[in-house]
Copies of this chain bind each other. A is one copy, B any other.
Amino acid sequence: MRVRTKAIEVPTWQALQRFFTDLDRDIRRLKHWGRVADYIPELAKTDPAQFGVAAALSDGRIVCAGQARQAFSIQSISKVFALANVLAVNRERVWCRVGREPSGDRFDSLLLLEQEQGHPRNPFINAGALVVTDELLTIHGEELLLPRLLGFLRQVAEDEDINVDLKVARSEANTGYRNAALAQFLFSFGNLGHPPDQVLRAYVQHCAITMNCLQLARAGRFLAGLSAPPASLGRSDIRGINALMLTCGLYNGSGEFAYRVGLPSKSGVGGGLLLIVPSRASVAIWSPGLDERGNPLAATIAAERIADFTGWSVL
């Protein structure tokens, strides 16, 4: 039934590598790098003026520049992989417990959660990710959750050297009072099946997973359709995850980013930014300084530059 074809131009590997090198040089001239996340003490020590970028292309090649091999805490980007892991096992149940609408509010707002009776707007705000983590606990049990999620990431990234920084996990566990409030609140509405403390512990652990740009770019390939999806994850699940990244991936900066870049993406307060270009590329960018909405400042500038150069916007 599908017979006609249409030519779509993509930049050559050489052109892209040259562009990445130039981009790295330009970004390093930035005057303002934003502020590192200071609410997690362990992350507060990081120098904000760092930058790395890597792209896994449809032909299997990788382009990269800057500190692409520097490991960082993926933080909220783990929400994407946690959701994928849950959807691969039981997609019905999670969508009864969490919505799929953008929130328009801060990532850790309790307002909407109260108005909507403990039903988080989407799985990428903290409340929604706690519910996803609760599902992970049901699926894997507390002991196996982290090993299984790491196994999932190692498999999709084809790299065994992905681990958790337990110092960061402990650091966040000690100071994440607002997340603790969210967990208690969800529990009070009956939307957590495990004790709040247990869910929080598992949550800060998968947020403390450490990757570098090369690993993260490769891990995102299945979302771009460049590698086989893990297990029973269907085409519509992957499209759905991309839709959530496009509408909710950068908290209350998601709409603005969609307007300027037009690509599914997910940020983390560790400075990471994962960019999915369906059928073409999976891009990981890192810059630890954050803007006032908690998104990595230099990385979002770089993402816009990449979208302009490549014409990769899906819109």
Which of B6, B253, B313 makes the CB contact (< 8 A) with A239? B313
Closest chain B CB from A308 CB (angstroms): 8
Residue A111 at the B interface, CB < 8 A? Answer: yes
- One digit per residue, 1 when the CB lies within 8 angstroms of any chain B CB and 0 when it does not, for chain A 235-249 equals 010011011101110
Complex-state Cα separation, A103 to B242, whole angstroms = 19
State whether A255 and B279 are in contact (beta carbons under 8 Å apart), knowing that A104-B104, A104-B112, A104-B121 are contacts in the complex.
no
Q: Which residues of B contact A102 (CB under 8 A)?
A: 101-102, 104, 247, 254-255
Residue A4 at the B interface, CB < 8 A? Answer: yes
Q: Which residues of B contact A313 (CB under 8 A)?
A: 239
Q: Which residues of B contact A12 (CB under 8 A)?
A: 1-4
Residue A9 at the B interface, CB < 8 A? Answer: yes
Residues facing B in A216-270 (CB within 8 A) are 236, 239-240, 242-244, 246-248, 252-256, 258-260, 262, 264
Q: Which residues of B contact A264 (CB under 8 A)?
A: 315
State whether A177 and B188 are in contact (beta carbons under 8 Å apart), knowing that A104-B101, A244-B259, A255-B122 are contacts in the complex.
yes
Residue A272 at the B interface, CB < 8 A? Answer: no
Complex-state Cα separation, A315 to B238, whole angstroms = 8
Which of B109, B181, B244 makes the CB contact (< 8 A) with A188? B181
Contact present for B111 and A115 (CB under 8 Å): yes
Q: Which residues of B contact A99 (CB under 8 A)?
A: 255-256
Residue A160 at the B interface, CB < 8 A? Answer: no
Q: Which residues of B contact A259 (CB under 8 A)?
A: 100, 239-240, 243-244
Residue A11 at the B interface, CB < 8 A? Answer: yes
Contact present for A110 and B101 (CB under 8 Å): no
Residue A66 at the B interface, CB < 8 A? Answer: no
Q: Which residues of B contact A5 (CB under 8 A)?
A: 7-10
Residue A55 at the B interface, CB < 8 A? Answer: no
Residue A185 at the B interface, CB < 8 A? Answer: yes
State whether A10 and B15 are in contact (beta carbons under 8 Å apart), knowing that A101-B104, A260-B240 are contacts in the complex.
no
Which of B7, B103, B243 makes the CB contact (< 8 A) with A258? B243
Residues facing B in A258-315 (CB within 8 A) are 258-260, 262, 264, 278-280, 311, 313-315
Residue A187 at the B interface, CB < 8 A? Answer: yes
Q: Which residues of B contact A280 (CB under 8 A)?
A: 6
Residue A52 at the B interface, CB < 8 A? Answer: no
Residue A182 at the B interface, CB < 8 A? Answer: yes
Give 10 pairs: A residue, B residue, CB < 8 Å, sorted on A.
Answer: A2-B15, A101-B253, A110-B181, A111-B114, A181-B181, A243-B258, A243-B315, A244-B258, A247-B247, A278-B314
Top 5 A-B residue pairs of the complex, sorted by shortest distance between their CB atoms: A2-B9, A101-B255, A181-B184, A102-B102, A242-B315
